[in-house]
């Protein structure tokens, strides 16, 4: 039998993790077995919070540490937005919200539908050119199209043709069908083509071998005819862009920076020639006439220049290829990539030039404002990249050809986007809108063009 010895255990104290208002007497575990008196700590919570990492109770303090740098960064970010909201004025009223809610969607406002395909039977990787002429019937204009063979195969540039399509009204239905009415042989592919807006039965084209042609469409007793009015040759190569200044004046643009104005009358005579300064150091890719001795050009490095004559300088005579024009040059807002499209449009009664580069970035240049540092309307068309655009007459709708014969269009005012599904193959590099805003043609998809009808 073991002898029990008398032993007193040491007192072990656990310090409270939270402050308490009063202390309880400690009971020696060897002198008594009475339980400790009940106590409620007024400062503790009903359910103690547990730290995940240590599984111990945490104390709640009335102060917190703030990251001053993070707070300053947040204020720098939020203050400009607050100022912008204040500048916009009062919150729109309920009536304004109702008006916005009742605004028609883009698809309802501009109803675009695929209309007709035109097969050309071209070689692979060919591109297309097209231009709209005068209205023939049912608000449908006459259409001229042609094929541009790949540049790396010169033998395919010869023996090409212009195709004239005339809209014919169907007897059983209120619609038209484009049917081929005439073919015109060409010595080589065309590099560019444009319609005379002052006389839409006249159109011009520039061929790959440097020739410039002017044709006249006319109706004859036996059908329709395309009559060649003029043909001149140039030593500067293929013209990259053509545009009509007046009914009898044609502007021709070349990649080397030269711009020529031709008088188209009984004969075709060059009136003057202008060459961009060598400091620009880039090739011209697009051109747009704004009036007599006033035009805009785009380059392969994204630059956009306005060239005009102020009436004070005289035209020099005795140039190598004719009279030399003296013009002033203004550099407009520059793109990051090659300028692919230049268009004229009117917004709120004012004239604007719309420029677009290969990335889909579009600039609206106000021709009243000669200071390009001022704010300009900039539109970024969503990817994939666009190499051609068209716009509505008021400049608010931008159209872009997409893959497989589809069409995308955007509303500038609110950024709304719509899409028309296609049923072809390939990627279009051409889009042309008719002057009445009712017709679009895109291509070339394989060997086919796609015609769209727009119902506003």
Q: What is the pLDDT of residues 96-124, one digit of tens each?
A: 554 343 346 888 888 999 999 999 876 67
Read off the pLDDT of each residue in 404-413 and give the average, rounded to a whole number. Answer: 88
- Residues 427, 442: contact at Cβ < 8 Å? no
Angle at 446 between CA 440 and CA 447, to 5 degrees: 75
Closest alpha carbon to 40 in 24, 53, 59, 55: 24
C-alpha to C-alpha distance for 443 and 428, rounded to whole angstroms: 4
CB atoms within 10 A of CB 396: 16
Between 27-41, 347-361, 412-426, the lowest mean confidence (pLDDT) is in: 27-41
Distances (CA, A) of 285 to 149, 234, 278, 293, 323: 19, 18, 16, 19, 24
> Is the pLDDT confidence value at 318 over 60?
no
Reported confidence tier of residue 15, pLDDT bands at 50, 70, 90: low
Residues 274-292 as b/e (b if ≥16 CB within 10 A, e otherwise) read bbbeeebebebbbbbbbee
Q: Which DSSP state fits 185?
A: E
Structure tokens at 157: 């540039």
> Is the pLDDT confidence value at 404 over 50?
yes
C-alpha to C-alpha distance for 344 and 454, rounded to whole angstroms: 20
Give me the pLDDT at residue 76, please: 82
Tell me the DSSP string of 63-82. Answer: -----HHHHHHHHHHHHHHH
Read off the pLDDT of each residue in 381-387 and give the average, rounded to a whole number. Answer: 64
C-alpha to C-alpha distance for 382 and 184, rounded to whole angstroms: 39
Give me the pLDDT at residue 99, please: 36
C-alpha to C-alpha distance for 122 and 326, rounded to whole angstroms: 43
> Is the pLDDT confidence value at 448 over 60?
yes
Cα torsion through 89, 91, 92, 98, rounded to 10: 160
Give me the pLDDT at residue 18, please: 58
Dihedral pair phi/psi, residue 127, rounded to 5°: -120, 165
Reported confidence tier of residue 172, pLDDT bands at 50, 70, 90: confident
Structure tokens at 24: 């309880």
- Residues 294, 309: contact at Cβ < 8 Å? yes
- Residues 212, 206: contact at Cβ < 8 Å? yes
Give me the pLDDT at residue 151, please: 63
Which domains are delineated in the chain? Answer: 119-233 (2.40.128), 354-366+379-456 (no CATH)
> Which position has the higher pLDDT, 412 or 383?
412
How much of the chain is in helix, strand and coil states, percent to nearest 5? 10, 45, 45
Give me the pLDDT at residue 144, please: 96
| HEC-encoded secondary structure of 97-122 | HHHHHCCCCHHHHCEEEEEEEEECCC
Q: 74's torsion region: left (phi>0), alpha (psi -120 to 50) or beta?
A: alpha
Counting every residue written for the chain, the total comes to 456
Reported confidence tier of residue 14, pLDDT bands at 50, 70, 90: low
> Is the pLDDT confidence value at 282 over 70?
yes
Distances (CA, A) of 352 to 100, 178, 349: 27, 33, 10
Q: Which helix (H) or strand (E) holds 201?
A: none
Q: Where is mean pLDDT largest: 7-21, 99-113, 258-272? A: 258-272
Counting runs of H as helices and runs of E as strands, what totals does the chain give? 3, 28
**Mean pLDDT of all residues belonging to the chain:** 80
C-alpha to C-alpha distance for 60 and 19, rounded to whole angstroms: 12
Give me the pLDDT at residue 207, please: 92
Read off the pLDDT of each residue in 310-318 and give the average, rounded to a whole number. Answer: 57
> Which position has the higher pLDDT, 9 or 328?
328
- Cis check: omega of the bond before 291, within 30 degrees of 0: no
Reported confidence tier of residue 49, pLDDT bands at 50, 70, 90: low
- Residues 220, 247: contact at Cβ < 8 Å? no
């Amino acid at each position: 039998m073991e002898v029990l010895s008398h032993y007193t255990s040491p007192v072990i104290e656990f310090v409270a993790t939270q402050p308490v208002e009063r202390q309880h007497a400690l009971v020696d575990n060897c002198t008594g077995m009475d339980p400790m008196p009940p106590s409620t700590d007024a400062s503790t919570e009903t359910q103690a919070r547990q730290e995940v990492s240590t599984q111990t109770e945490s104390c709640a303090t009335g102060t917190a540490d703030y990251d001053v740098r993070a707070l300053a960064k947040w204020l720098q970010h939020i203050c400009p937005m607050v100022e912008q909201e204040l500048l916009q004025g009062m919150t729109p009223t309920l009536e304004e919200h109702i008006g916005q809610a009742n605004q028609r969607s883009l698809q309802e406002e501009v109803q675009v539908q695929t209309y007709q395909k035109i097969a050309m039977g071209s070689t692979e990787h060919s591109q297309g050119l097209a231009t709209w002429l005068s209205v023939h019937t049912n608000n449908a204009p006459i259409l001229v199209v042609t094929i541009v063979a790949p540049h790396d195969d010169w033998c395919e540039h010869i023996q090409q043709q212009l195709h004239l399509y005339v809209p014919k009204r169907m007897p059983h239905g209120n619609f038209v069908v484009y049917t081929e009415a005439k073919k015109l042989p060409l010595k080589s592919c065309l590099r560019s083509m444009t319609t005379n807006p002052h006389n839409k039965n006249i159109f011009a084209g520039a061929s790959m071998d440097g020739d410039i042609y002017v044709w006249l469409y006319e109706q004859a007793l036996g059908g329709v005819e395309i009559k060649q009015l003029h043909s001149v040759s140039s030593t500067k190569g293929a013209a990259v862009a053509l545009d009509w200044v007046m009914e009898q004046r044609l502007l021709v643009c070349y990649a080397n920076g030269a711009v020529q104005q031709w008088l188209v009358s009984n004969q075709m005579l060059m009136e003057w020639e202008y060459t961009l300064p060598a400091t620009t150091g880039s090739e011209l890719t697009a051109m747009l006439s704004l009036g007599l001795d006033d035009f805009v050009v785009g380059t392969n490095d994204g630059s956009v220049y306005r060239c005009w004559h102020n009436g004070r300088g005289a035209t020099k005579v005795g140039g190598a290829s004719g009279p030399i024009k003296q013009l002033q040059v203004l550099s407009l807002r520059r793109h990051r990539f090659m300028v692919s499209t230049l268009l004229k449009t009117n917004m709120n009664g004012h004239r604007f030039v719309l420029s677009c580069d290969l990335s889909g970035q579009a600039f609206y240049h106000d021709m009243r404002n000669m200071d390009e540092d001022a704010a300009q309307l900039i539109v970024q068309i969503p990817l994939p990249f666009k190499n051609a655009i068209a716009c509505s007459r008021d400049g608010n709708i931008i159209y872009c050809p997409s893959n497989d014969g589809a069409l995308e269009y955007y509303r500038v005012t609110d950024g709304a986007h719509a899409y028309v599904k296609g049923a072809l193959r390939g990627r279009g590099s051409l889009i042309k809108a008719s002057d009445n805003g009712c017709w679009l043609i895109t291509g070339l998809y394989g060997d086919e063009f796609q015609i769209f009808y727009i119902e506003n």
